[in-house]
Structure 1
Amino acid sequence: MSSVDADEIEQALDDLFDQALVYHGYTDYMRDYEVVVQGSADPAAGQNYRRYLFRNCPKVTVTSTVGPEVWARSLEEKLIHQGVPGSNDVYAWGVRRQALYPGAGRLETSRETKRWSSRLGVPFYEVTLEGNSHEIHLLFSGLSVGDLEPGYMPFVVPAEPKTE
């Protein structure tokens, strides 16, 4: 996994266009935010998985882009297991992926990024990733991108509780 600078961050974000978002969340150590994508929103196109690790991420806002009227018709439990909906009137959560379309916005500078940059002494950025079921707004200081090996799991329940 390699770390990238601001110009490379822009290029990496451009590469997210129309990828299939299959997982997102904070890492198990709670500092960085990971986004796992499949090489294409089309499942038939292959299984190449990449991890976008947004480093030093103090703020993430995730909002559903599924409208309230579709939510209202998509509450049945069977939809979390159903791969393809029987109707366009519902959202089939069970597809387990969402198209990142239109994808990532441009890196933004704001009062908040300037404040974090000033306090920590490293550049901070903001970006919004938009898919067909979530909009993810991230505040972060760096990005690492790398391929994932089969079997990767973002969290595993330990056999014994950790003691401090």
Structure 2
Amino acid sequence: MDTAALEQLLDETFDHAVVYHGYTNYLRDYEVIVYATADPSTGVPPAYLRYLFRYCVEARCETSVPAEIWRNSLDDRLLDPETAASDSGGYVWGVKWHCMYPGAELLPESEATRRWSTALGIDFREVRMETNAHNLTLLFSDLQVTEVPVGYTPFVTDQ
């Protein structure tokens, strides 16, 4: 995949909702499920999109929630938006999605991308995806984007 096409696909994730991310059930590829919406006046219907990072040799996930917010977010009531106290000052984990903001970016070539490209004989890229809950850094070779049905479950193979 050329750089311009990859950057365009990543740009399209900006400000949409990440509803799931993790390795696929066969453990080679990493998927990020994005709920993409547009202004209703455009007539573009919302869609669930599967960003499949193929041949993903490294996936790092770290919190983007600051420690002082974490300190106020340990209460299990914050796992459910129905029971979360609005005055807790904590992060409501139970919303079941996080905003892709400031978004995803293709990182410059690194020692790791060069090492994997040489070892496997295919090009590797590194991308950083920042959200209001997690930051992901993925080292992969290819990206495929497809629409998935409402209710898509990552660990069911016959969808």
If the length of structure 2 is used for normalisation, what is the TM-score? 0.87
**What count of residue pairs does the alignment treat as equivalent?**
152
CA-CA distance at 1:20 after TM superposition: 0.6
1:22 to partner: Cα distance: 0.6
8 Å Cα contact 2:59-2:136 kept in structure 1 = yes
| Offset from partner CA, 1:1-58 (integer Å, 9 cap, x none) | xxx543211110010111111100000000000000111499xx96411000000001
CA–CA separation in structure 1 for the residues paired with 2:38 and 2:22: 19
Q: Say if 2:107 is the partner of 1:110.
A: no
Match of 1:15 among 12, 23, 33: 12
CA offsets, 1:135-161, max 9 Å, x none? Answer: 0000000000010112311115xxxxx
- Residue deviations 1:108-160 (CA, integer Å, cap 9, x gap): 2101101100111110000100000100000000000010112311115xxxx
- For residues 85 and 23 of structure 1, what CA distance do their matches in structure 2 show? 25
- 1:28 matched to 2:25? The reply is yes
| Secondary structure class of the residue paired with 2:149 | coil
Residue 1 (structure 2) pairs with residue 39 (structure 1): no
Alpha-carbon RMSD:
2.2
Alignment of 1:1-164 (within 5 A): 4-40=1-37, 47-82=46-81, 86-87=86-87, 89-156=89-156
The ranges of structure 1 where at least 4 consecutive aligned residues each deviate by more than 2 angstroms after the TM superposition are: 4-7
TM, length-normalised to structure 1: 0.85
Among the aligned pairs, what percent are the same residue? Answer: 46
Q: Secondary structure at the match of 1:150?
A: coil
CA, structure 1 residues 95+85, in 2 after alignment: closer, same or farther (shift >3 Å)?
A: farther
Report the residue type matching 1:75 in the other structure. Answer: L
Q: In the aligned structure 2, how far is the partner of 1:85 from the partner of 1:46?
A: 33
Is the CA contact 2:122–2:141 (under 8 Å) kept in the aligned structure 1?
A: yes
